[in-house]
Structure 1
Amino acid sequence: MAAKTWTGYAPWLDRQGRLSGLRALAFALLLIPALILAYEAWTGQLGSKPWTRAVHDTGTWSIRILLVTLAVSPLRRILDWGKLIGIRRMLGLGAMSYALAHLLLYCIDLAFDWGLILSEIVKRFYLTVGIVAVFGLAALGATSTDGMIRRMGAQAWQRLHNLVYLITALGLLHFALQSKIDVSQPALLNGLFALLLLYRLMNRWKLPVTAASLVAAALATGLATALAETAWYATTTGVSAWMVFQANWDVLTYQDLQFLRPGHWVALAGLAVALAHAVRSGVREPKPVRAGRLRSQSATSE
């Protein structure tokens, strides 16, 4: 009986208890960052400050997985892929797990000196923002079960879980503030978040989802990401805004893909979604009919 109960909660099974390739793949992918981190720790590849490296890696993966979680609903609609919804809860719990590991490793790094930990969180704004995001994710994870939906009621539960967007924004702010000089990755993740928010607005405003509208969304968020990155460097480091923006443009001018900036990656991600939508929708350009073939068809019809 116990084995049967455990099997019912196996992450690779769907709600009917059948093996789901999609769920199994998602679960395996969630484990990979943790396994890599464990291997690097075991083999001494985490550098001179292994705990600090582990803290950073788990935090970064938490935000990445959280963004993938937020991508499930819009991609399900855009690609008309209903089965995607089956992995959303698992992904959300994965993001929460990495966030809690991030917090635990931070406490280990400070030797569980609670006085020091609390003072650091209070004194450093980026830590204050980060701890709020972690506790917010924990609250969403704790209330993610079907039982909690019934206890809270669907509307109250939905209002609570809509806070995931605010929590994501706080997590991204925490990441950007602690990155200090190089904000390439925070800029990329913020750009992807903006793209997901735009998809959400398109759905709320009932805008038509076409290849053209998705391409426009991709280009708009790519440009916005480039401008945001430019503004960040200009205001926090004193680097010329024109130099940063020109770095984005030079890639397009000289087609040097080695130096793709965050804005380019965001645009490419959006264009990939547009292409996938076109393929899933069966959009095909009609093949041109040869003149000779057209004449033969006309003669046959006569």
Structure 2
Amino acid sequence: MSLFHERNGNFSPEKTVALVGSCLPALWLASWALMGDLGGRPVSAAIHFTGLWAIRLLFISLAVTPARRIFHWPKLVLARRILGVAAMSYAALHLTLFVMDQGWNVQAAAREIVLRFYLAIGAVAVALLLALGATSFDRVIKRMGAKRWNALHASVYGIALLASAHFFIQSKLDVTQAVLMSGFLIWLFAYRLWHRATNNVGLFALLALAVLSGVLTGLLEMAWYGLFTGIPVALVAEANFQPAMGVSPALWVLMAGLAVFVVAAVWLKISPPKAKGKAAGSQKAPKVRPSVSPAG
């Protein structure tokens, strides 16, 4: 099946944008490597770059279902498989570059992974992503059955937690990016729980999720610095509201959540759902929900 077309042969903008967007970071990395713009430790820089994009694409793939429901965009599900495979590919490259940084000494790399907790949970996350990818072919789905396959692929949220923990620990003192990504994951988890409880994530719920996620992100940042660096929690909280310090992760998460709320409200005015009585986000998901699977 074509990477750019639906099963019926029609061109798919969703798959095309997902594929092109997923390839762009790799092209940027390759261009920087060719031009020598990766700094004094190019392999280390590439390791961090691929790890960051693995997490980003994984979270974007998790955001497909909320976006599909909120904006009543069923064909958006076509992008999820490509995004999941892309996240898996960047994660695999991330691990491969780590082995390369160890002089291609697999035993030394394995020893480092075993001895360092954050490397161990990162390696587990990569292994699980590879396992999800290996069980995502149509023939495997058919053999496993939709129920068992969906149960297995629901573990992608556990993988997201492992990836976030790995990101936090390896970031050490500056956890800005790790807090930001964890804040987005908080929103995704909160949405999932709300939808499971009510089957109807409407506009009020989206507004509440934005505020709740922003607050929890701020508390997470304060807890991390307070527990692991000794920096007073009050100073971390104060820094969230100082323009000179830049926009804090909590405010970014809050603004992103509010943007989803505003766009959803406008979208409902422009293109209300066809089925009467359905609020934003009430559409049911299909029985088979590929999260990390081969493109196509």
TM over 0.5: yes
Give 1:104's match in structure 2, choosing from 96, 104, 110: 96
Q: Which residue is 1:53 aligned to?
A: 45
- List per-residue Cα deviations over 1:37-79 (Å, max 9, x = no partner): 0000000000011011101100110000000000001111111
In the TM superposition, 1:240-259 aligns within 5 A as: 240-248=232-240, 250-251=241-242, 256=243, 259=246
Give 1:235's match in structure 2, choosing from 211, 217, 227: 227
Q: 1:283 to 1:215 in 2, by over 3 A?
A: farther
- Alpha-carbon offset, residue 146 of structure 1: 1.6
Q: Which residue is 1:291 aligned to?
A: none
Give 2:249's match in structure 1, choosing from 257, 262, 266: 262
Q: Distance in 1 between matches of 2:93 and 2:221?
A: 29
Give the structure with higher Rg (CA).
Answer: 1
- Alpha-carbon offset, residue 210 of structure 1: 2.3
- TM-score normalized by the length of structure 1: 0.87
SS of the aligned residue for 2:269 comes to coil
SS of the aligned residue for 1:48 comes to coil
Task: Check if 1:33 corresponds to 2:20.
Answer: no
Q: Distance in 1 between matches of 2:66 and 2:21?
A: 20
Greater percentage in helix: 1
Q: Which residue is 2:263 aligned to?
A: 276
Task: Check if 1:168 corresponds to 2:155.
Answer: no
The runs of 5 or more residues in structure 1 that have no matched partner are 1-7, 285-302
Residue type of the partner of 1:85? V
> What number of residue pairs does the alignment pair up?
271
Give 2:9's match in structure 1, choosing from 17, 40, 43: 17
Q: Distance in 1 between matches of 2:158 and 2:68?
A: 22
- Aligned Cα RMSD in Å? 1.5
Q: Distance in 1 between matches of 2:72 and 2:269?
A: 12
Residue type of the partner of 1:232? W
Q: Distance in 1 between matches of 2:80 and 2:202?
A: 24
Residue type of the partner of 2:189? L
- TM-score normalized by the length of structure 2: 0.89
Residue type of the partner of 2:161? A
Question: What is the identity percentage for the equivalent residue pairs of Structure 1 and Structure 2?
Answer: 43
Q: Distance in 2 between matches of 1:65 and 1:212?
A: 28
In the TM superposition, 1:178-193 aligns within 5 A as: 178-193=170-185
The runs of 5 or more residues in structure 2 that have no matched partner are 272-296
Q: Distance in 1 between matches of 2:150 and 2:244?
A: 42
Residue type of the partner of 1:106? F
- Contact 2:239/2:245 (<8 A) preserved: no
Residue type of the partner of 2:247? L
Q: Which residue is 2:108 aligned to?
A: 116
Residue type of the partner of 1:199? Y
Q: Distance in 2 between matches of 1:208 and 1:143?
A: 31
Task: Check if 1:149 corresponds to 2:141.
Answer: yes
Task: Check if 1:92 corresponds to 2:80.
Answer: no
- List per-residue Cα deviations over 1:229-267 (Å, max 9, x = no partner): 01101111111110000111x24xxxx387110001111
Q: Distance in 2 between matches of 1:280 and 1:144?
A: 33
Question: Which of 141-150 and 187-196 deviates more?
Answer: 141-150
